[in-house]
Amino acid sequence: AQSVTQLDSQVPVFEEAPVELRCNYSSSVSVYLFWYVQYPNQGLQLLLKYLSGSTLVESINGFEAEFNKSQTSFHLRKPSVHISDTAEYFCAVSEWSGYSTLTFGKGTMLLVSP
């Protein structure tokens, strides 16, 4: 069965600084990978996903993540964060099988301050 580890529960950063949120997964088969974002008092929404093909995937608001199979990682990065990026970010994984459910990490709270 798959599992996800988000190494940082909280990441404080100043506005306009770069940020990286780390995600590692464990699986014995090929996987799909996702980043979801949760703004305060809201449900989760998809930020970006890797299904196949190019290992670098981008979101419309400047985030990107790179699938690294050898390191079993899918870290999320942004070169310059805004106050509005303050939210909780969840990495999730599912295996390439017809019956795999989506497994979420415990989340990383990104705190952007002026």
Partner 1 sequence: DAGITQSPRHKVTETGTPVTLRCHQTENHRYMYWYRQDPGHGLRLIHYSYGVKDTDKGEVSDGYSVSRSKTEDFLLTLESATSSQTSVYFCAISEEWSGGGSEQYFGPGTRLTVT
The residues that touch partner 1, with contacts defined as CB under 8 A, are 6, 9, 32, 34, 41-46, 49, 51, 90, 94-95, 97-102, 104-107
Q: Is 34 or 63 the residue whose CB approaches partner 1 more closely?
A: 34
Least distance to partner 1, CB of residue 91, Å: 9
Least distance to partner 1, CB of residue 78, Å: 21
Q: Residue 85: what residue type?
A: D
Residues 6+ apart with CB under 8 A from 93: 2, 3, 4, 25, 27, 31, 32, 33, 34, 74, 102, 103
Least distance to partner 1, CB of residue 59, Å: 13
